[in-house]
Amino acid sequence: MIEKERHVLVIFPHPDDEAFGVSGTIASYISQDTPLTYACLTLGEMGRNLGKPPFANRETLPMIRKEELKLAAKAMGINDLRMMGLRDKTLEFEDDIKMKNLVTDLIDELDPSLIITFYPGYAVHPDHEATARAVIRAVREIDSKKRPKLHCLAFANNTLEDLGAPDVINNIEKVKERKLDAMRAHISQTARILEMIEEGLKVDDPEALKWVTKESFYSYKWEQDKVKQLSGS
Ligand SMILES: [Zn+2]
């Protein structure tokens, strides 16, 4: 059972970052009438995948991914989707204070009781890491008793070894169709994996089933906080 929240804020850098690991959780909160905002920092316009077979090109990809993101949001039931307009593959070079302030502004406006993002250090891609760092820096400035909870997605190879087992496991079976639709919405990026999952589901393959039964997160371990302090903050 997913805990009741006042407001859930989901922050990721790319359209489709939510698709495989979080869309079931998002749909679950929305099915409980929990207000939820998804802030997507870029349009993933530098993505390598152009569809399978290719149907996008460098010019059309941003528009296509924007439409895919809207479609995915609809599939999950999101009615507060924020496209934050930053540039794909550049977040690690953005000013750290600007990145942190962007998150602080969202927190000030929405007063979330839970934020979902990547786990810094275990998020693999530089844009993912930059996003995670900005969230940690923004939340760290809040008095520890008033901080929203942080549920973080981690998938680096050393995740289990370093962080142990995830402490937050959401059962998403009830919303699995919504999750599949969210994954299908991002078809320019997801076609390959989706084909594997859909074939697997036909024969109850456990590897495929795990995508539509559970989603796992780590509560951020403040006692092992390794995100660098910003000078002047
Ligand atoms: Zn991504």
Average pLDDT over residues 70-99: 96
Of 76, 89, 77, the closest CA to residue 184 belongs to: 76
What CATH number does the domain containing 162 carry? 3.40.50.10320
User: Which residues keep their CB under 5 angstroms from ion ligand 1?
Assistant: 14, 17
Average pLDDT over residues 196-225: 96
CA of 69 relative to ligand 1 center, distance in Å: 13
- Domain assignment present for residue 205? The answer is yes
- Domain assignment present for residue 3? The answer is no
- Domain assignment present for residue 1? The answer is no
Instruction: Give per-residue pLDDT as tens, 13-26.
Output: 999 999 999 999 99
- Domain assignment present for residue 135? The answer is yes
Q: Are 61 and 55 in contact (CB under 8 A)?
A: no
- Domain assignment present for residue 212? The answer is yes
CA of 153 relative to ligand 1 center, distance in Å: 11
Average pLDDT over residues 220-233: 86
What Cα–Cα distance (Å) separates residue 198 from each residue in 23, 72, 168, 174, 177? 16, 17, 26, 17, 12
Distance CA 170, CA 77 (A): 18
User: In which domain, by residue range, is 119 found?
Assistant: 8-231
Instruction: Give per-residue pLDDT as tens, 112-123.
Output: 999 999 999 999
- Domain assignment present for residue 82? The answer is yes
- Domain assignment present for residue 33? The answer is yes
- Domain assignment present for residue 2? The answer is no
Cis peptide leading into 62, omega within 30 of 0?
no
Distance CA 169, CA 12 (A): 19
Distance of CA 64 to the CA centre of its chain: 19
CA of 145 relative to ligand 1 center, distance in Å: 31
Q: What single letter denotes the amino acid at residue 31?
A: S
Distance CA 114, CA 211 (A): 23
Per the structure, how many domains does the chain have?
Answer: 1
CA of 18 relative to ligand 1 center, distance in Å: 8
